[in-house]
Amino acid sequence: MIDTEAVQEVRKIKYRENLPVDPKVCASTVLHFPYDRTASEEHLSLNKFQTDNLMDMIEPCSPGAGKKLLYDPVFIMHFSIHSLSAGYIEPVEFTGLGLLAVAFVRVSEEERSLFAAESSLILLDTLHEHYSTLNKLLMDSSRVNMKQIPLFHDFFHSNAVNHRAQRLWILRLSYAGLNLEDDAWLYIRSSMLETLMSFYVSPLSDVETKKIILQILKKSVQLHQTAHYLVEHCSLFPWLSSILSTYSWVLHGNEKKCFSTELAVVIEIVRVVISSNDIAEWLQSRALEQLMELTSHLYKLLVGGKKLINEYTAFVDQTLQIIISTLKMSQSRQIDQPHFNLSHEVLFQIYLAVNEATIGRSSETAKCALEAVLLSGPPVDIFCMNREKLSSFLMWATSTALKSKSRKVFQWQESGLHVPIVSREASHEESFASKLLRWLTASIIHGKLSWNSNIPTAKFSDGSNLKNLQSLLEYVTKDNKEGNKCNSDLNEMLAAQVFHLQQSLDINCSVLPSAVSALCLLLLSDDSKFTGSDIVHDFRTSMVTLCSKIRCPPELNPSWRWSFEQPWEEDSSQFTDLERMDGVHACQSLLLTISNELRSKSSDFQGLSLQDVDESGVFEWETNILQTQ
């Protein structure tokens, strides 16, 4: 009470000796500022200070970089005001600690003054390489124009001795300053994104500059305005494709490690962009070709970069997801628009790459690969494939599909006739085994029809004589006499795969007519050893009768289209219940006959039994129909 000034001086000395502010944490707060933290969130109290100290907010940084300590901006502002007003910290020291920089960024939600925050630290050091430039800018101007990025073009296109340091500094500042939609508009208006993309591919761009530019673009696509602008006005996908084409030849050299990190950023940019629904819709309707080109480059890296896969473990799954997204967009396009399809050779290469990459890993990768294969649609050139390769591929696909469990797609009607129907609700949960069987049978049916050039599938669009499976078999057999002959071993291998998948499903599944049709095309044609067997000879008349009761497979319908999501629904109103019952009964009888023949050829083959047919419910269905008549 007697010597107030002396007491205040002692208090000031003690305060400065125990000053807990860390300049590194201030810098981290500036770079990773929590803009969503406002003073209205909660009232400050002494208890809050005691429990949280000064570093009570932890904000996550980039993946793999761990976490950074950040000062709570609300607390640090109150602390700064108190320290300055009480005279406990001198203005120069306040600036040197980084507290002025935090204060500048604190108001950047309206004025974007990250530039001022960085300048406040540089102007304290007259020996800093950017001191003279910043000092001249501030001395020659009454104010800094905050409607553009100060010194961006001066530093980025600098021809000074330290031009590289100036460029890297302004790039890092640009990266740190891109946080809000207002910042996005500033970058668009100044044509900064076009400048960066153009410089990236120029000979003047070095590795470190390219890395920062990619990081800026990665941050840009996380904001709505810049994401749309990059895709629709800056040709983002063709630009990324040109980068990926460069990586393709780099993989064969000694620079793999330098590019694996950049490749991860490129893939992340693509993943973020196509995850936006409105951008995906725009691509699907107007510019899917751009994404198709980029996906093709990713496929080449997938099948040609074994060492890359080992270095970048997430590459396989992320690439498969991009391929899947592209294929889904392609399937949703109009029929007259270009589509993204994969040839059988491409599918086999994907299988090889994934099969090797998934050894000892999660089966989800194999499931994604199979989804990509099935989304690409049934290949009509299946009979042109090498038998050994096709067998290996189908064994992998079948094993993967059967491991991917899902609820059955079929349910029985609760009232009226007990007719097996496809549930619209359950169709989204169709098993992978059912999808694979649909894919394989469609490949066989279309492949058989197009095996000879004089039998185009379109020829059946008005084939009024093709009323049933028997007429189809006669038509194909007649034309095959003048055409090529399929390999009988290939036929039997495909038939065994179809039967194995069919047997794993409910015998009344919707794929049954198509599966039986495919089996008959494979085993009852003139180029099959199965045709001359004793069992077929003995039951020739009955088999003709059975085939006459089975309508042509829906794949012959001109309006039929492949869909991964659910089976194509055929209008069944033109068939009576008795005709449908006879068709299902005939399919099951043919399956039983074919099963016995395949079992006679291989002791390992597990055929279909009469008990399986009895338990299918078809006889109960028949009884109910007769009782209602």
Pick from 210, 206, 176: nearest CA to 108: 176
In this prediction, residues 225-251 reach a mean pLDDT of 87
Choice between 119 and 352, residue whose per-residue pLDDT is larger: 352
Confidence tier at 522 by pLDDT (50, 70, 90): confident
In this prediction, residues 346-372 reach a mean pLDDT of 81
Rounded to whole angstroms, how far apart are CA atoms 472 and 537? 20
- Residues 250, 266: contact at Cβ < 8 Å? no
Burial code of 193-223, b = ≥16 C-beta within 10 A, e = fewer? bebbbebbeeeeeeeebbebbbbbbbbbbbb
580-620 pLDDT tens trace: 788 888 888 888 877 777 666 655 555 444 444 444 444 45
Backbone CA torsion sign across 356, 360, 363, 364: negative
Choice between 389 and 81, residue whose per-residue pLDDT is larger: 389
Confidence tier at 61 by pLDDT (50, 70, 90): very low
As given in the structure block, the two tokens for residue 41 are: 């969130």
Burial code of 534-548, b = ≥16 C-beta within 10 A, e = fewer? eebeebeeebeebbe
Res 479 pLDDT > 50: yes
Structural domain boundaries of the chain?
400-628
Q: What stretches of 201-341 show up as alpha helix (H) in DSSP?
A: 207-220, 224-233, 236-250, 256-274, 277-282, 288-304, 306-311, 315-331
298-322 pLDDT tens trace: 988 888 766 677 777 788 889 999 9
158-204 pLDDT tens trace: 888 888 988 998 898 888 778 888 888 888 988 999 999 999 999 98
Burial of 279 (0-12, 13-18, 19+ CB in 10 A): buried
Rounded to whole angstroms, how far apart are CA atoms 367 and 199? 40
Burial code of 89-126, b = ≥16 C-beta within 10 A, e = fewer? beeeebbbbbbbbbbbbbebeeebbbbbbbbbbbeeee
272-293 pLDDT tens trace: 999 999 999 999 999 999 999 9
pLDDT score of 372: 92
Report pTM.
Answer: 0.73
Indicate the length of the chain as a whole number.
Answer: 629
- What is the DSSP secondary structure assignment for residue 196, as one 8-state letter? H
pLDDT score of 230: 96
Res 65 pLDDT > 80: no
Rounded to whole angstroms, how far apart are CA atoms 458 and 292? 27
User: Across 142-146, 382-386, 439-443, which has the greatest mean pLDDT?
Assistant: 439-443
Lowest-confidence pick of 71-75, 146-150, 438-442 = 146-150
User: Across 54-68, 88-102, 164-178, 185-199, which has the greatest mean pLDDT?
Assistant: 185-199
Look over the chain and give the mean of its residue pLDDT values, rounded to a whole number: 75
pLDDT score of 320: 92
pLDDT score of 458: 41
Lowest-confidence pick of 23-32, 44-53, 494-503, 524-533 = 44-53
Rounded to whole angstroms, how far apart are CA atoms 436 and 401? 7
pLDDT score of 338: 86
pLDDT score of 484: 53
Backbone φ/ψ region at 551: left (φ over 0), alpha (ψ -120 to 50), beta: beta
pLDDT score of 91: 77
The C-alpha angle 342, 345, 347, rounded to 5 degrees, equals 55
Confidence tier at 39 by pLDDT (50, 70, 90): very low
As given in the structure block, the two tokens for residue 610 are: 């009469």
Rounded to whole angstroms, how far apart are CA atoms 114 and 31? 9
- What's the number of CA atoms in the CB half-sphere (13 Å) around residue 114? 27
